[in-house]
Amino acid sequence: MRHRAGGVAWAALVVVVAMAGTLEARLVVRSPPPPGTRLVWDHDGIGVGWFEVRADGVTVAMRDGLTRGEDGSFGIPLPVLTPGRRVSLVVAACNESGCAESEALVVDVVAGPIRWDRSD
């Protein structure tokens, strides 16, 4: 599975941090997320009974709000995450035999709105 961030354009921000001569890109999301913000992923759905979204190994969302897009993608409202943490999100495709997890999407969670202006 591959997943892509979806929803409101300003709900997530990629921050590039330069440290010790290296560059690191980080995905930053706010908590609570703006209404309509969704985690979207591609999957053919074959053999899947349900999907789960897991944050650091803990199931935070299951079937509630799951939708399938016209392009075949699946999506679920982005769950509320604890601010001030770096979180690994995975999507698990499950059936009666077990679950298979996607690669992790690592996000830094910040409280409240992400500010784009410097009006201080």
The CATH T-level fold of domain 2-111 is Immunoglobulin-like (2.60.40)
CA proximity to 53, closest of 78, 90, 80: 90
**Overall pTM > 0.75:** no
| Strand pairing class (50-55; 22-31) | unpaired
- On whether the CB atoms of residues 96 and 49 are closer than 8 A, the answer is yes
pLDDT for 85-106, tens place per residue? 889 999 999 999 999 999 888 8
- On whether the CB atoms of residues 90 and 101 are closer than 8 A, the answer is yes
Domain boundaries, the chain: 2-111
pLDDT for 44-68, tens place per residue? 888 999 899 999 999 888 877 788 8
pLDDT for 7-46, tens place per residue? 323 334 444 444 455 555 567 788 888 888 888 888 888 8
